[in-house]
Every structure is written in structure tokens, then in C-alpha cells.
Chain A
Amino acid sequence: MGKPSRRQFLKIMGATGAALLAGKKAAVANEGHKINNETIGMLYDATKCVGCKACMSACKRVNGDYGSLSYERAKFDTDGLWDAPEDLSGSTRTLIKLFKQSEQEWSYVKYSCMHCQKPSCVSVCPVAAMTRDPETGIVDYNKNTCIGCRYCQVACAYNIPKFQWDRAIPQIVKCDLCKNTNLPKKGISACAEVCPAGAIMFGKRKDLLEEAEKRLRENPGKYINHIYGANELGGTNHLYLASMQFNKLGLPTLKDEAPAEFSEKIQHTIYKGFIAPVALYSTLCFIALKNMKKHGGEEGGHDTNTDKGGHH
């Protein structure tokens, strides 16, 4: 029985491999990353920001009303009267910080998810709890599928996804561009809606880029001549203009290549169409069966003797 069963087996393995191969061909066509400027995002102009933090409280309010953050309380304040976050956290999706170069030179800066064009968080999430909407470009999180592995946190170069470390039932928290709150109701993100200084512009990425370029052109000397997010890590939908070095404002200096491109390329080379694992398995089976057979007669003392059982 040993022999025919092996042949049958290899045949089956070969067929599976071929099927996987054929099925996969159509699916790999989307290689190579292109920026989509029809998606939506925000342009934050640090030189216009007055640091009133209206955006922060608006963000907390809409997300609280929606229910996703309604239970949040600072530790020292169980009644929920005060909130002065130091950093983004499991209860804060956006934050205004003040950077002081000296007493005369300073700049505000707003932190939140960058809504990457090729997001690392989406690339690594094993259960597709992080997703990027191809139409809007919004990177959203679904707590109902998330397993809480925190790989998205490891992967995000901006350290944006935050985890609720102090809860028995925790979740990941990050800006979702008001996808489920203000945006469907009012067509604009809450932070952009309330900003009294016009520091946050909401709209299509191509319009934001155009506006940013215009501001750079019309005010030479006022800005650092760079639109942060235009190309960083494959481009982001949250764009920045500022009068100070971006890395001083806590926005890291990054390459244009998206890390997800690099890692997916290697992962795909290894697993393309599942050919390598299937080939490996078939080859190993072949070798192992041959070895078993060789030894089956002489020693007859192995609990894995495939040939022996078959003869009876």
C-alpha cells in the first residue's frame, strides 16, 4: 500500500499546487504603490494654530457622544470633570502640543493618525480590524474584530495607535477621521469644523496639496519649504505645514518608501501562491517515505512504519 498511496498523495499535492498557482495569478496584479489624491484628509497649518485646543475637546465630545469613548475618565478624576492629556492615549485621539525652541520661537503642533496611503497598521493586522477605505482613504479600526495583538502599534512609525492598558476589556484607539461621527452628519471632521483659526483644512488630498503649495509659494520665508506627509512613507492624507523643522515638532524624518511595501514584498516572495510551502511539503514527504521504506525491512521498529501496516 505504501507505494500507490505515495503516488496518489504526490499527485494530489501537485494538483493543489497547480490550482493555487492558477488562482493566485489574477490576485498579484496590484503590486506597486500609487498615491491616490482623490481621497480625503486634512491639512494642518501650524503657523495658523493658536493652541486653543478646541479641536481636542471637539474630538473627545463627538467620540464620547458616539459611544466609542464615552466611558473614558482620567485616573485622578472619576467624575470626569478634568482632562489634561500629556500624550495620545487610549482616551485621546488628537492632541495639541507646544514646542518651544526659545522664549521667542515656538510652534504648536497637532498629533493624530496620519491616514497613510500605504498604512503599516493595515498591512500587519492579522484579522483585518484595521482597514483603509479605498474610496475615502480613511484608515479605520473595528474593535469587534480586533484581537488586541498590538502589532499595529509595533508597525506604525508615528506611534499612533494607542491601547487601553488599564481596562479588562481594552481596545485600540486612534483617529478615524470622524468616519462614524461628524463626517456622515456634517461632511467634515469635528476638529476641522470647530477650529476658530482656520488651521485645519478638510478636503480632497489634491485640493489640500494645491492649497499647501500655494501657501508655500505666497509666503516664502514663513514656512519650512516642505509639505510633511506629501511623500513620507508612501504619502499620508494628513498633511502639515510648519515654520519649524518637523522632526523638532515630533514628526519623525522618514523615507518615502512605505515600510509595508518592503515587508510585503519579502512575505510575498516567500509565500507567493503558496508554491514554496506546498513544494517543500511534497519534497519532504517524498524523502521521508523513501527513508522509511529503506528502514522498514531491516529494523521494523518504528511507530511510523507506513509500509508495514499495508501488507496485512
Chain B
Amino acid sequence: MGHDEYQVHEAKILTPSFIVLLTLTLIGFALIALRFIKGIGAVSNMSDGYPWGIWITYDVATGTAIACGGYAMAILIYIRNRMHYHPMIRSAILTSMFGYGLAGFSVMVDVGRPWNAYNFFVPSKWQVNSAMFEVAVCVMAYTTVLIMEFLPAILTTLEKTEWKTLQHMLDLVYGRLGMERPERIGDRLDKVKELAAWARPRLDKVLIFIIVLGITLPTMHQSSLGSLLLIASTKLHPLWHTGFLPLLFLINCMYIGYSIAILESVLSCYAFKRPFETKELSGLARIIPFLTVIWLCVVIGDLAWRGQLGKALSFDFYSRFFLLEFCLIACGSLLLFSKRKRESVRWLFVSAALIVLGGALYRFNVYLIGFNPGKGWHYFPALAEVMITVGIVAFEILGYQVLVKILPVLPKLHTREQHAAGHPMGEKA
């Protein structure tokens, strides 16, 4: 019926990395509790000069770009019609779902008066001139869309499940209480199964419209993430302040998206001891240089047009960060022009990592490093502030690790046996 492309990754959930991630998550959440008791100033170094710190810069502006794997893959599969990438989409969507969900969550940690956020749903309060309004609404909508895109994985599991673990747990609880497990619970669980079986084909039918919405929304809000800084014309360094910010952010999220899809596939194949998806990845890698080259051309052309090329090469503080960002992206793309390198997992990994780093540095440059509110203001994130971000990221990885072990997310192995043959990792698996 169309769901046999994916499989549950059969493995233990309680691994050492699980414990490490859980610890980091708990530290982060404890600090978040502190922030709500004592105010943002108690855990962060943000100030009236630097009202946006790494929470906005990393968790939101950069994190959502890194979470653009689902977006980039969906464009490739449904728009560019490369259906053979379809097996990779679920894990990409799962990562996107976590990335966006947690970006939304960290916004709630960052804003000072989150209980007023319901105003986004009150039309009289809408302020459509604000790029922030656009970003907020789109990100909320997109997170919902991602959940719906992921729903088939959950529904198929519900359909097939025997509720063994749950029944076992319930028996234990009732056993403790010295009671029999009531019959109606079993009925309820059967109802859920039926409901899932009823909903899934119906969802399948409209899913394409949701998927396309899932392509439109990031196109809108990723460019608006660039628009956010348009207004800061007196504070953002001219190397980055340009009318092209929305366009640059849009292209930037696409090449980060494809690079992340590569990194994520390599890493999860390595971690879960599955064969590498080299063929698919080298195909993905061919797209990236096209995007980065357009991006680099817009950057240089725009600097030349605004007469800022001299500033870019002046080797002062700002110029160095600009050149670093530029070189990371350029080097990463250059590697991908070679066919031989594109077919080696190692080089694929290296170049994708360079591009993600460079692309992320671009967003840091725009939001923090190139941002100067005037004399006397300084910002460097506080330890607690960093730990909150680390906690959120740890939670993200933790969730991914657990979900691929209980839901059919990763591509089925037998469909790709031909790639796996002869591959040492493949044999182990």
C-alpha cells in the first residue's frame, strides 16, 4: 500500500549516547525553569544593545535553516520529480519537525511575555508590515504541516501495533494496585487502531496539497528571516546589510538543506550501522554547487554594486568573518564539482560540513557578528545561555534517535541491497 519503503530501526533505546543527551537536556530545561523565575537577564548576557542573542541567532535563524532538509528534499522529489529520493524523505521530515518545533519552543523561552503570544491569532493585532509577524505565522503553520507530513508514519504504526508494550505496562500498573485490567481499555485501543486505518488512506489523498504547502511556507519565512534585519540599516554592517537579504537567506537555506540531508544520512547510517546511501547522496551533492554559485554571485555582485568590495578585503574584524564565511562555502562547493569526490562518502561529508558551517556562519554574521548597536555595547553568550541552546539541540537529537527506533522512518534496507553489496558497513548490518 505504499508504506513498505520504510522500516523501524530495531535497536536498543537505552544507549550511552541516550544518557549523555538526556543529561544535557535536563540541564538545559533546569536553566529554562530558572529563566522563567528570575528573568532573562539571570541566564543570559543579552542587553538593551543586543536584545537578540544566540537563542534567536542559533535556535531560530540558523536552526530552522539546518532544519530545511525536509524542505529541500520535498522540492527535489515532488517539484523536480526525482522520485527515487523518496525513501529519504521521512527522516528528513522528522529532523525538520524537531528543528522547527524546537525553534518555536525556544522562541517561547526567548520572548519576554509569551503569554501574550495568542495575539498572533487575533486579526485586529496583526501587523502585516512586520517581517516578524510573517515569520511567526509561517513557522507555526509549517510546524503543523510537518507534523501532518509525518503523520503517515505514526498512523501505519498505530494500525499494525498490538499494543504489547502498553498492555504489558498497564498490566503491571493494575497488578500493583491488585486489580484486573478492565476490558474496555482493550476496546479503546482497538478503536484507535480502527481510526488510524480509517484516517490513513484519506490523509494520503490530500497529503500532496499539504506537502506543497510545506514547500511554500519555508520559501516565505526563510526569506523573511533575512527581511528581519532590513530595518537595522544603521546597526548591521554594510557587508551584510543589503536589499538582497531575503533572497540570500532563501538560497542559503536551500543549500544548507541539501547539505544537511547528506550529513544526516551519513551520520545516521554510521551511527545505526546501515549501508551508506552513496548513490543518492552524490546525486544530491550535484545540486548544491548550483545553488552556492548563484548565492556567491549575488553576494559579490551586490557588494560591487554598493561599492563595498574594498571593505570585504580590508581584513578588519568584519572582513575576516565575511571572508571566512565566503571561503567555507566556496571551498565546500569546489570539492563538489569533482565527480570522484562526489562519490566518496568521506569527501561528501567534508564538503557538506564546510557548506553547512559557512551557511550557518552567514546567519550568525547577519544576526550577531555584523550587528553593532553603537559604542559601549558588547555581547558574548553566557554559559547558561549556551547550555539552554545545547539542551534544546540535545533534546532534538534524542527525539530523533528514539523515534527512528519506534516508527518506520529510515528507508528499508532490502530495496537497496544492490548498493549495500560489498559494503563493509552493509554486511555488518
A residues adjacent to B (C-beta < 8 A): 1, 9, 87-89, 120, 123-129, 143-151, 153-155, 157, 159, 161-172, 252, 254, 259-260, 262-264, 266-267, 270-271, 277, 280-281, 284-285, 287-289, 291-292, 294-295, 299-306, 308-310
Known: A151-B130, A288-B212. A165 touches B39 (CB 8 A): yes
Known: A155-B232, A288-B212, A292-B78. A147 touches B111 (CB 8 A): yes
* Chain B CB within 10 Å, residue with most, of A120, A123, A270: A270
Would you call B216 and A280 a contact (CB within 8 A)?
yes
Summarize B's interface: helix, strand, loop or mixed: helix
Closest residue of chain B to A128 (Cβ to Cβ) is: B127
Would you call B125 and A128 a contact (CB within 8 A)?
yes
Closest residue of chain A to B132 (Cβ to Cβ) is: A126
Q: How far is the CA of A266 from the CA of B230 in the complex (A)?
A: 9
Closest residue of chain A to B35 (Cβ to Cβ) is: A168
Would you call A145 and B119 a contact (CB within 8 A)?
yes
Would you call B79 and A303 a contact (CB within 8 A)?
no
Would you call B113 and A155 a contact (CB within 8 A)?
no
Closest residue of chain A to B374 (Cβ to Cβ) is: A159
Q: Mark B200-225, 1 if CB is under 8 A from A, else 0.
A: 01101111110111011001100110
B residues adjacent to A (C-beta < 8 A): 2-5, 36-42, 46-49, 51-52, 78-79, 81, 83, 86, 110-114, 116-117, 119-120, 124-134, 136, 152, 201-202, 204-209, 211-213, 215-216, 219-220, 223-224, 227-235, 243, 246, 373-374
Pick the residue among B39, B51, B124 that contacts A166 (CB under 8 A): B39
Q: List, in ascending order, chain B residues with CB within 8 A of A9's CB.
A: 209
Q: How far is the CA of A89 from the CA of B136 in the complex (A)?
A: 27
Would you call A259 and B120 a contact (CB within 8 A)?
no
Would you call A288 and B41 a contact (CB within 8 A)?
no
What distance in Å separates the Cβ of B4 from its nearest Cβ neighbour in chain A?
A: 7
Q: List, in ascending order, chain B residues with CB within 8 A of A295's CB.
A: 81, 83
Would you call B212 and A285 a contact (CB within 8 A)?
yes
Q: How far is the CA of A224 from the CA of B150 in the complex (A)?
A: 65
Would you call A150 and B112 a contact (CB within 8 A)?
yes
Q: How far is the CA of A163 from the CA of B373 in the complex (A)?
A: 15
Known: A89-B48, A154-B235, A302-B2. A148 touches B114 (CB 8 A): yes
Would you call B204 and A303 a contact (CB within 8 A)?
yes
Would you call B112 and A171 a contact (CB within 8 A)?
yes
Would you call B51 and A153 a contact (CB within 8 A)?
yes
Would you call B227 and A302 a contact (CB within 8 A)?
no
Would you call A267 and B127 a contact (CB within 8 A)?
no
Would you call B79 and A287 a contact (CB within 8 A)?
yes
What distance in Å separates the Cβ of B410 from its nearest Cβ neighbour in chain A?
A: 15
Q: List, in ascending order, chain B residues with CB within 8 A of A125's CB.
A: 127, 130, 132
Q: How far is the CA of A123 from the CA of B112 in the complex (A)?
A: 19
Would you call B42 and A263 a contact (CB within 8 A)?
no
Would you call A280 and B86 a contact (CB within 8 A)?
no
Given contacts A288-B208, A304-B207, 18 further A-B contacts (CB under 8 A): A126-B120, A127-B120, A153-B51, A159-B374, A165-B46, A166-B38, A252-B234, A266-B230, A284-B79, A285-B208, A285-B212, A287-B81, A291-B79, A295-B81, A299-B83, A300-B2, A303-B152, A304-B208
Q: List, in ascending order, chain B residues with CB within 8 A of A264's CB.
A: 129
Q: Please list the 7 inter-chain residue pairs (A to B) with the smallest Cβ-Cβ separation, ordered nearest first.
A: A148-B112, A165-B41, A150-B51, A263-B230, A148-B113, A126-B133, A153-B51
Q: List, in ascending order, chain B residues with CB within 8 A of A149's CB.
A: 110-112, 132
Q: How far is the CA of A27 from the CA of B152 in the complex (A)?
A: 42
* Chain A CB within 10 Å, residue with most, of B36, B38, B205: B205
Q: How far is the CA of A163 from the CA of B39 in the complex (A)?
A: 11
Q: How far is the CA of A271 from the CA of B2 in the complex (A)?
A: 38
Would you call B212 and A150 a contact (CB within 8 A)?
no
Would you call B205 and A306 a contact (CB within 8 A)?
yes
Would you call A263 and B208 a contact (CB within 8 A)?
no
Would you call A301 and B4 a contact (CB within 8 A)?
yes
Q: List, in ascending order, chain A residues with CB within 8 A of B124's CB.
A: 128
* Chain B CB within 10 Å, residue with most, of A129, A271, A289, A304: A304
Q: How far is the CA of A277 from the CA of B128 in the complex (A)?
A: 14
Would you call B201 and A302 a contact (CB within 8 A)?
no
Q: List, in ascending order, chain B residues with CB within 8 A of A301's CB.
A: 2, 4-5, 86
Q: How far is the CA of A126 from the CA of B120 in the complex (A)?
A: 8
Q: How far is the CA of A294 from the CA of B82 in the complex (A)?
A: 11
Q: How far is the CA of A153 from the CA of B211 in the complex (A)?
A: 36
Q: How far is the CA of A305 from the CA of B113 in the complex (A)?
A: 44
A sample of 29 cross-chain residue pairs with beta-carbon separation below 8 angstroms, ordered by A number, consists of: A1-B205, A120-B231, A124-B129, A125-B127, A126-B127, A126-B130, A126-B132, A127-B133, A145-B125, A147-B111, A148-B111, A149-B110, A153-B48, A157-B234, A159-B48, A161-B48, A163-B51, A168-B37, A172-B112, A262-B243, A266-B227, A270-B246, A271-B128, A281-B212, A284-B216, A291-B81, A300-B2, A305-B2, A309-B201
* Chain B CB within 10 Å, residue with most, of A9, A88, A124, A259: A124
Q: List, in ascending order, chain A residues with CB within 8 A of B114's CB.
A: 147-148
Q: List, in ascending order, chain A residues with CB within 8 A of B113's CB.
A: 143, 146-148, 169-171
Q: List, in ascending order, chain A residues with CB within 8 A of B228's CB.
A: 151, 154
Known: A125-B130, A147-B111, A304-B204. A266 touches B83 (CB 8 A): no
